[in-house]
Structure 1
Amino acid sequence: MLSLKDIDCQGKRVFLRVDFNVPLDEEGSIRDDTRIKAALPTINYLLEQKTKLIIASHLGRPKGKYNPKLSLKPVAKRLSELISLQVTLAPDVFGDEVTKLKRELKEGQVLLLENVRFHSEETENDSCFAQHLAQDVDYYVNDAFGACHRAHASVVAITQYVKKSVAGLLVKKEVDYLSKAVFSPEKPYTAILGGAKVSDKIPVIENLLKKADSILIGGAMAYTFFKAQGYEVGNSLVEEDKIDLARIILNRVNKEKVNFYLPSDHIVAAKAEPEEESRTADSFPLPSNLMGLDIGPDTIEKYSKIISESKTILWNGPMGVFEIDKFSNGTTKIAEAVAASEALSIIGGGDSVAAVYKAGVSEKISHISTGGGASLEFIANETLPGIEALTEE
């Protein structure tokens, strides 16, 4: 794929797709502007190049209808503050007024289109809608890594109607790091997978079985694997409809040369509540009234040792219910082990990102991905619709 620095966009009209899908509070104020800040290197570069900059993003799930609560108005205000420049918010994504605003843009000015998902054609990857978006545009830049796994009009279809489509600085960085894990990992390569659902991770596990040296499983998804082996897991969260799939994966593990680890001990309690009494259980069956809510000290020690000997580490998903301090120790200790290792470490978005910040070790991680779903799909499929759509070298 071509990236931003491969083209001469000086003075050109550039359409930049970003991921400004930020969390808002009840008053409609931005709770966390990390995603806006992540796009700043690309935005600042394009402004240095004196481009006429048109920015597009989605926010939330308005289901193809205008919803004032999901307007990009607070985003325009915050972006203006961050780049010390007036950002004009367009009333829509196309139409006579928007066309006029696009054509009147001067070099070094910024126009932010309204939420692209106010139109159902966006999520349908509609080519007519994409043509409207691309009207009067010279170049297309995709810096929305968090949306690259979605074949939507402002991510995929639009690329057919512009001279060149290139990756922004953030997307290039994401693809470069994830490619190291997917195509040329330095060995030993360890993947750490957690979270509640096996179903979210099946394609990822299938790909990792062929590439990783060790797969460390934590979080509630471990109990679906235990149940598939016939263990009594008490009241732990199990995806009953995925037990057969878990069994197929376990059978494949035996055929591949991968070490597949499940927790050897568990922190259990009656409920995932802060005031619940908890204890360590190191064998099955778990009592029927208790559920596994974190990995235990023996598992932490084993996993940390494997991590310390690794050269490439990929981590997606917490080891327990880490939002509750009592059940966060496993996730925190794994975050510390990853940070302390000499390995190339990649945190694949989602809750594990929050865990790394909570543990105060984010500075020691090689790469923290901005797209949980996108990074997982890239690992599973080795590409993404939004990447495929960009201009080849």
Structure 2
Amino acid sequence: MSTSPTSFRTLDDLDPDQRVLVRLDLNSPIEGGEPQDNRRFDRHAETVRELADAGHRVVLLAHQGRPGRDDFVSLSGHASILASHVGRDVGFVPDTYGDAAIEAIESLDTGEILLLENTRMCEDELPEGDPESKAETEFVRALAPHFDAYVNDAYSAAHRSHASLVGFPLVLPAYAGRVMQTEYEANTAIAERSFDGRVTMVVGGTKATDVIDVMDAFGDRVDDFLLGGIAGELFLRAAGHPVGFDVDPDADLFDTQWEQNRGLIEELLEERGSQITLAVDLAYEDDESERAEVDVDAIGEKDVSFLDVGGDTAERYAEVVHESEAVFVKGALGVFEDERFSVGTVRVLEAIAETDCFSVVGGGDTSRAIGLYGLDEADFDHVSIAGGAYIRALTGQPLAGVEALKRE
């Protein structure tokens, strides 16, 4: 198995005693107006702690929500959560680049950490724009002169061309933080590494269009696609089974995505059918609110919602995983948040953990199943915290934030 090096500078290249501006992604669920702790705080704490322990003056940028939405709140609550993960105090100032922010930045001592206010409260942050125009915004021009270096650790936001992500690398020496570095290396592995053995991709979740695009992009690099979720049913529909459409007339999970992707699904089945493994049974909730399963070939018409792949399918998928050298996961095989319908997702994750393979688990909430069902994250090579950026990486699309780091 061969690897290619990253093409941007990392924390290993950073000179000592710097005042560093660090972009994180602390975007979190908000309940009762307060941010909820999650994996992102723990991951980013590694970068923040390393910088503070090295004696740098560390100033943090992050966003939360979008203007007009309920989760668009101040970052004041994020500072204490981050501090608990870093093991150091994290100061907060309710300003981003005004006088209060500049005064707080200039007063920092070595090893101290400061979180600035929500970047999306700045008019210059949104909407997306080219790096050159973002570098000329008042936001960037006001902050940049107070720093020696810029570190982007926000891989999960790197598909956005916002001022805090693409503007600063044009006016400051730019580096990748540890999250950015590890996410980039793992999520581009399917394109940049060569594997001697079997490469498997597990695709599921509710956003069928995303995973279908991934299948189309990497059909020549993947030996086996194991399908579940919405995409799995749509492929079964294309194969002639009476599934893959909405039972509830008020729902819109299947029919729209079928219309959008039917041609590509049928083309993939025809051209790459030998690489695509479909479910042989599906699970649903019966009249007693229990898990029930039915063979795909025995379905006369779809009159229930299927919420997971069946047990036989889960074991077949596990067998493929056990024989693989590399496994990439994009999306859950069922509604794993409900234990009754966690069988497919958990069995595949267990098989990965049992197997000496290179593994990347990502795509929205899928990685949550690892902690939810008592699996050990250490048994996986990489558990991604990225959603949209992970998809773009898998489909070979450039990420604006990454491209900005690569510029000299």
TM-score of the aligned structures, taking structure 1 as reference length: 0.90
The structure 1 residue matched to 2:81, chosen from 69, 78, 83, is: 78
Give the match's secondary structure for 1:141.
strand
Identity, % of aligned positions: 29
**Equivalent-residue separation in structure 2 for 1:60 and 1:177 (angstroms):** 26
**Equivalent-residue separation in structure 2 for 1:148 and 1:106 (angstroms):** 30
Give the match's secondary structure for 1:45.
helix
Residue 268 of structure 1 corresponds to which residue in structure 2? 284
Residue 381 of structure 2 corresponds to which residue in structure 1? 366
**Equivalent-residue separation in structure 2 for 1:344 and 1:131 (angstroms):** 43
Q: 1:391 to 1:289 in 2, by over 3 A?
A: closer
**Equivalent-residue separation in structure 1 for 2:182 and 2:338 (angstroms):** 33
Matches within 5 A, 1:76-225: 76-125=79-128, 126-127=134-135, 128=137, 129-162=139-172, 164-186=173-195, 187-225=197-235
8 A contact 1:227–1:243 mirrored in 2: no
Residue 349 of structure 2 corresponds to which residue in structure 1? 335
* Structure 1 residue 58 displacement after superposition: 0.6
Deviation by residue 1:373-392 (Cα, 9 ceiling, x = unmatched) = 21111111254111110045
Residue 60 of structure 1 corresponds to which residue in structure 2? 65
- Number of aligned positions between the proteins: 387
The structure 1 residue matched to 2:366, chosen from 349, 352, 364, is: 352
8 A contact 1:142–1:155 mirrored in 2: yes
The structure 2 residue matched to 1:239, chosen from 251, 255, 259, is: 255
* Structure 1 residue 52 displacement after superposition: 1.7
Give the match's secondary structure for 1:287.
coil
1:10 maps to 2:16: yes
**Equivalent-residue separation in structure 2 for 1:70 and 1:5 (angstroms):** 30
Give the match's secondary structure for 1:389.
helix
Q: 1:12 to 1:244 in 2, by over 3 A?
A: closer
**Equivalent-residue separation in structure 2 for 1:185 and 1:15 (angstroms):** 36
Q: Which amino acid aligns with 1:378?
A: A
1:278 maps to 2:292: yes
* Structure 1 residue 73 displacement after superposition: 1.0
**Equivalent-residue separation in structure 2 for 1:244 and 1:111 (angstroms):** 46
Moved more, 275-284 or 119-128: 275-284
8 A contact 1:225–1:243 mirrored in 2: no
8 A contact 1:296–1:330 mirrored in 2: yes
8 A contact 2:65–2:71 mirrored in 1: no
Q: 1:263 to 1:93 in 2, by over 3 A?
A: same
Q: Which amino acid aligns with 1:131?
A: R
**Equivalent-residue separation in structure 2 for 1:24 and 1:290 (angstroms):** 33
Deviation by residue 1:11-38 (Cα, 9 ceiling, x = unmatched) = 221100011112232252x432421111
8 A contact 1:228–1:247 mirrored in 2: no
**Equivalent-residue separation in structure 2 for 1:59 and 1:228 (angstroms):** 40
**Equivalent-residue separation in structure 2 for 1:9 and 1:37 (angstroms):** 25
**Equivalent-residue separation in structure 1 for 2:36 and 2:167 (angstroms):** 32
The structure 2 residue matched to 1:316, chosen from 298, 315, 330, is: 330
* Structure 1 residue 105 displacement after superposition: 2.1
1:22 maps to 2:28: yes
8 A contact 2:40–2:385 mirrored in 1: yes
* Structure 1 residue 256 displacement after superposition: 4.8
Q: Name structure 2 gaps, 5 residues minimum.
A: 1-6, 129-133, 248-252
* Structure 1 residue 357 displacement after superposition: 1.9
**Equivalent-residue separation in structure 2 for 1:165 and 1:8 (angstroms):** 9
The structure 1 residue matched to 2:265, chosen from 226, 232, 249, is: 249
Q: Which amino acid aligns with 1:342?
A: D
1:296 maps to 2:299: no
Q: Which amino acid aligns with 1:14?
A: V
Q: 1:153 to 1:375 in 2, by over 3 A?
A: same
Q: 1:105 to 1:200 in 2, by over 3 A?
A: same
| Runs of 4+, deviation exceeding 4 Å | 234-237
**Equivalent-residue separation in structure 2 for 1:229 and 1:282 (angstroms):** 11
* Structure 1 residue 276 displacement after superposition: 5.3
Moved more, 288-297 or 13-22: 288-297
**Equivalent-residue separation in structure 1 for 2:369 and 2:291 (angstroms):** 23
Q: Name structure 1 gaps, 5 residues minimum.
A: none
The structure 2 residue matched to 1:226, chosen from 208, 229, 236, is: 236
Q: Which amino acid aligns with 2:27?
A: N
* Structure 1 residue 122 displacement after superposition: 1.2
**Equivalent-residue separation in structure 1 for 2:298 and 2:267 (angstroms):** 21
Moved more, 165-174 or 179-188: 179-188
